[in-house]
């Protein structure tokens, strides 16, 4: 039997579902997650959510690794926070790209190209999260029974990247700030990589550091391979 967060149970190893069943479970999870997001959006209290998210960010700043480990143990509780974080991240990417292209010359010839670039940049955070989550789930599925907790952990671990997207708006207004923003963004990206490592390690309840490090290298390698391939389709994650 699986718990709410999809962590392994005593009989997990002997009851691993075959491929088709796993696919059906993922479809069911995806539908449930979409319904959860719809309910959150429908019943959202902006003032209350801003207050809760502010407190959450303070905890993350104070002890990021400890917080991501705690989230891994009870990911369902943080689903609402994930929706808020992803919304901020997507909005920042849209605004950054829109402001950059709005100053360009829009002709009939490049209009669709510009619009495509804006759309691809806007969906890139969600696409990146889904790709990373799918890869991590596939490589850790003997330890983690559901993909939703993986998505939650990865979104929260990528808070530094969301902050990086917000900072990325600044050079649009002040081009000279790129020399300051670029190294900060590189640091924030590295922080996300580290947080994803500790979050997935805690989620998989893996105590063998060397073994998990090898798995994580494969996860990151597969992710960057996916980034490279999708880049040819002008889909950036």
pLDDT tens digit sequence for 5-35: 444 443 444 444 444 545 666 667 666 666 6
**In-domain check, residue 4:** no
**Number of domains the chain contains:** 1
In a domain, 5, yes or no: no
Q: Tell whether 14 is covered by a domain.
A: no
- For residue 170, what are the domain limits? 37-231
pLDDT digits (tens, 9 = 90+) for 121-154: 899 999 999 999 999 999 998 888 888 889 999 9
Exposure string over 62-96, b if 16+ CB within 10 A, otherwise e = eebeebbbebbeebeebbbbbbbbbbbbbebbbbb
* 23: in domain: no
- Which pTM was predicted? 0.79
d(CA 70, CA 47): 25
Backbone angles phi, psi at 143, to 5 degrees: -110, -30
Position 139 in a domain:
yes
Query: Rounded CA gap, 111 and 37, in Å?
Result: 32
Position 136 in a domain: yes
2 lies in a domain?
Answer: no
- 13 occurs within a structural domain: no
């Amino acid at each position: 039997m699986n718990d709410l967060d999809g962590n392994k149970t005593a009989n997990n190893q002997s009851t691993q579902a075959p491929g088709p069943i796993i696919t059906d479970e993922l479809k069911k999870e995806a539908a449930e997650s979409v319904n959860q997001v719809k309910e959150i959006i429908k019943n959202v209290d902006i003032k209350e959510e801003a207050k809760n998210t502010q407190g959450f960010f303070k905890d993350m700043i104070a002890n990021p690794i400890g917080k991501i480990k705690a989230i891994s143990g009870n990911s369902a509780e943080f689903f609402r926070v994930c929706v808020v974080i992803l919304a901020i991240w997507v909005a920042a990417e849209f605004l950054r790209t829109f402001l950059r292209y709005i100053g360009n010359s829009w002709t009939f010839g490049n209009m669709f190209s510009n619009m495509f670039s804006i759309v691809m940049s806007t969906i890139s955070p969600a696409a990146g999260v889904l790709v990373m989550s799918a890869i991590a789930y596939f490589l850790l599925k003997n330890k983690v029974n559901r993909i939703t907790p993986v998505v939650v952990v990865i979104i929260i671990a990528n808070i530094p990247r969301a902050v990086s997207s917000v900072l990325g708006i600044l050079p649009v207004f002040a081009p000279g700030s790129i020399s300051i923003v670029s190294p900060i963004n590189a640091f924030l990206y590295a922080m996300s990589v580290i947080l994803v490592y500790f979050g997935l390690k805690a989620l998989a309840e893996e105590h063998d550091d060397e073994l998990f490090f090898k798995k994580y290298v494969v996860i990151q390698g597969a992710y960057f391979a996916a980034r490279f391939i999708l880049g040819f389709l002008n889909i950036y994650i």
